[in-house]
Chains A and B, each alone.
Chain A
Amino acid sequence: MIFLFIALPLVVAGLLPLIGKISKKVLPDILANGVFFVLLCYAVFVGRSLISKGPIVQQLIWLGEPVNIHMALDAFSLFMLFTVALVGLCVGLYSIDYMEHYGDKATYYALLLIMLAGMNGLLIVTDLFQVYLFLEMAAIASYALVAYGLGQDELEASFKYLMLSAVASGFIVISIAILFGLTGGLSFESVAAGLRGLDVKYEVGICTALFIFGFGLKAALIPFHAWLPDAHPSAPAPISAMLSGLLIKVSGIYALTRIFLTVLGLTPALSTILMYLGVISIVVAAFLALGQRDIKRMLAYSSISQVGYIILGIGLGTPLGILGGLFHLLNHALAKSLLFLNSGSIQMSTGTRNLDEMGGLAKRMPFTAATSLIGSLAIAGVPPLNGFWSKLIIIVALVQAKMWAFALIAVLASVLTLWYYLLIQRKAFFGQLNERWRDIKEAPFWMTLSTVILGLLCIAIGILFSLIIKTWVAPARDVLANAAQTMIGARGL
C-alpha cells in the first residue's frame, strides 16, 4: 500500500513524544531510523514491483471499506521516494550522535518524520491542492528544525525562511485557485483535461509565472534564493543535509516538474525561461560560493548552483536532458548531504565553521577528510564519480540540442565548482595542522558510518552508473518524457 509512505512516519511521529518520556534516546533513535529503513526497503522491493506494468493509482481501503484517498505511483515518484528514503536514512543515522547535545531527541525525530511524511505525500498525490497541503506540512516542520538550536542566528534564519516560504506558498495557492476557477477541478488529470478545451492562454501564463515564483522560491533558484544561504547553514547539520539534499528538490524541483510537464505543459517559452533561470543560478551562485569563508554557507550557495544544473537539464525538455537532470538530482542529493554532514562533524570537533581557522584536519579526522574529498569531487564532476556522469549527460543533451552557449557555461561553471571545492579541501583538511586542533578526534561512530555510506554510494553510483540509470533514472525520465509528449499532442504546443 503506497499510503505507508505517509502513514508510517506520521504515526511514529505522533507516538514519539510519548515514547520519549519512557526512553529519551535509544527508542527514538531506533524508531526513527527504523521508519527510514522500512520505507527504503519498501521503495526498493515493493515499489518497483508495483509499477512493473506502468503507473498505478491506488485507493485506500480502511477496514474493508474504500476511502476517498487516491494515491499515484509512477517511476518518477518512486525514484524520488527512493532518494528521500536513502538520504533520510543516512541523515537519521548521523543524528544518533550529532543530536545528543541538542536535547529532546524525540521531538526532533518527530519533526524530521513529519517533514518526511510531507515530502512523501507530495510525491504521491494526484491533486493540486494536496500538493500545497503536503508542501506546507514539510515546510512547517522544516522551519522548526532550522531553529532547533534556539540560538539567535538559527531563529533569525528560520524567521527569514518562514517569511519567504510563506510568500512562495501564497503564489502557489493563488495559482491553484485560478486553475480551479478555470477548470472546476483540482486533480492533475481534470485540470489538464479542463485546460484542453479552453482558450485561456493569458490566464495559464499568469498561473505559470506564479508557479515559477512559488516553486522557484522553494527550490531557491536565483533570484529567489535569499533565504537559503541563511537557513541551510544555521540549521543543525543533519537538517542542512535534509534541506539541501531533499527538501528543495521535492518541494521545488519535483513539484515544478510534475505540474509543468503533466498539467500545464512545457511550452518552448517556458522551457527557455527555466533554462535561463537554471544557467543564471549555476553561474551566480558559483561566484557567490567562491567568496564565502563559512563552510556551510559555501555549501549552501553550491546547492543553488547545482539546482541550476538540474533545472537546466529538465528545462531543456529533451529525453536526454531530463535524464541528466534527474540523475544529477540523485547525485547531488547524496553528495551534498555527505558534505553538509561532514561540515557538521567538523563543527562538532572544532566548534567553528570558518574555513580560515581550520587547516590540516585530515590528520585528525581521516574519515571525514576522505569522504569530504569524495563528495567535493563528485559534485564538481570529476570522473569516475557519480556527478561526472550526470553533468556529462546534461552537457551532451545541450550539445545535441545545439545549445552551445548553455553547454559552454555548464562546462565552465563546473571548473568554478571544482575551484571552490578544492578551496574547502585545502583550507580545511590539507596543509599544516592548526595547533588549536591538536587534540580533536574523528567524529563518533554513527556520524562517521553515515558519511562513509554516502561516500561509498557516490563511488558506487559513479562506477555502476549505467545500472542505476537503467533501473531508476531512465524509467522516471520515460514517465516525464511521455507526459510532455502527450501534452504537446493534446494541446498542440
Chain B
Amino acid sequence: MTLSIGLLVGLVAFSVAAILVRDILKAAICLAAASLLLGILFFVMKAPYIGAFEISVVAGLITVLFMVTIALTKAEGDVRESKLAAWAFPLFFAVFLIIDVLVMKSLIGKIPTQTTTAEGGSFGEALWKGRTFDLVAQIGVIFAGVFAVLALFRKRSKDE
C-alpha cells in the first residue's frame, strides 16, 4: 500500500512537472518518468502485461520519438507564452485534488471487486480471443496517426 501511494505521488508530481516546466526536453523526460512509475504501479497491482506495454511503449518508444523530434526542431526566437497556465493549472489541480479526496474514496469503496477481469486467462487469450475487435480499431488509430503525420508534414508544391 505504502509503495503504491509512493508511486502514485511520484506519478502525479512528474505529470504536473511535465506540464509546468518550460523546456520541452525536460517535459518529455518528466513524462517518461511518470510513465515509468505508472508501469511499475501496474506491476505492483498485478497487471504485468499492461505494465510491460506502458514501460516499453510510453516510457520507452514514445520518449525516444519525442527526443528525436525535439532534436530535429530548431529554436526560432522566443515564443511568448500566456501567463494564464502558470496560475490556472495549479488552481484547477488543487480543486481536482479536493474533489478527489472528498469523492473518490467512497466511490471506489462502493465498486464491488470483480472475480473475472480482462486479464483473467493468458495475455494471448485476452488479446486474440477476448478483445479481437479492439485490434481492428487500434490498427485504424495507428493508420490515422501515420496519415496525420504524412498530411501535416507534407511538402507543398509551388502551385498549391
Binding site for B on A (CB under 8 A): 6, 10, 13-14, 17, 67-71, 101-104, 107-108, 110-111, 114-115, 117-118, 121, 125, 127, 129-130, 133-134, 136-137, 140-141, 143-145, 147-148, 150, 178, 181-182, 184, 198, 200, 202-203, 206
Contacts and interface: CB of A to CB of B under 8 A. Distances in A.
Contacts of A200: 110
Contact of A144 (B116, B137, B148): B148
Contacts of A130: 133-134, 137
8 contacts: A10-B143, A68-B131, A103-B154, A104-B150, A111-B148, A114-B140, A150-B156, A184-B116
A40 to B, nearest CB: 21
B144 A111 contact: yes
Given A68-B129, A144-B147, A121 B107 contact: no
A144 B140 contact: no
Contact of B140 (A102, A108, A118, A181): A118
A130 B138 CA distance: 10
Given A114-B143, A134-B137, A184 B110 contact: no
A111 B160 contact: no
Given A70-B133, A114-B147, A129-B134, 20 more contacts: A13-B147, A101-B160, A102-B160, A104-B150, A111-B151, A115-B144, A121-B137, A129-B131, A130-B137, A133-B140, A137-B141, A141-B147, A144-B144, A147-B152, A150-B152, A178-B107, A184-B117, A198-B112, A200-B110, A206-B107
Contact of A103 (B134, B140, B160): B160
Contacts of A148: 151
A121 B154 contact: no
Given A103-B160, A114-B143, A141 B110 contact: no
Most chain A CB within 10 A, of B115, B129, B130, B154, is at B154
A181 B114 contact: yes
Interface of B: 107, 110-112, 114-117, 128-134, 136-141, 143-145, 147-148, 150-152, 154, 156-157, 159-160
A115 B144 CA distance: 8
Contacts of A10: 136, 139-140, 143
Contact of A133 (B116, B130, B137): B137
Given A14-B143, A133-B141, A203-B110, A141 B148 contact: yes
B111 A178 contact: yes
List 4 A-B pairs, minimum CB-CB distance, nearest first.
Answer: A144-B148, A133-B137, A140-B144, A137-B140
A18 to B, nearest CB: 12
A69 B128 CA distance: 10
Given A102-B160, A104-B154, A107-B151, A141 B129 contact: no
A281 B59 CA distance: 42
A143 B137 CA distance: 17
Nearest to A142: B144
Contacts of A136: 137, 141
B99 to A, nearest CB: 11
B133 A181 contact: no
A14 B131 CA distance: 22
A211 to B, nearest CB: 16
B121 to A, nearest CB: 13
Contacts of B133: 68-71, 125, 127, 130
B140 A134 contact: yes
A147 B117 CA distance: 40
Most chain B CB within 10 A, of A13, A110, A115, is at A110
A71 B133 CA distance: 9
A71 B16 CA distance: 40
A292 B151 CA distance: 31
B152 A140 contact: no
Most chain A CB within 10 A, of B139, B144, B157, is at B144
Contacts of A110: 143, 147
A257 B153 CA distance: 37
A344 B137 CA distance: 32
A320 B2 CA distance: 57
Contacts of B143: 10, 13-14, 110, 114
Contacts of A181: 111, 114
A13 B139 CA distance: 12
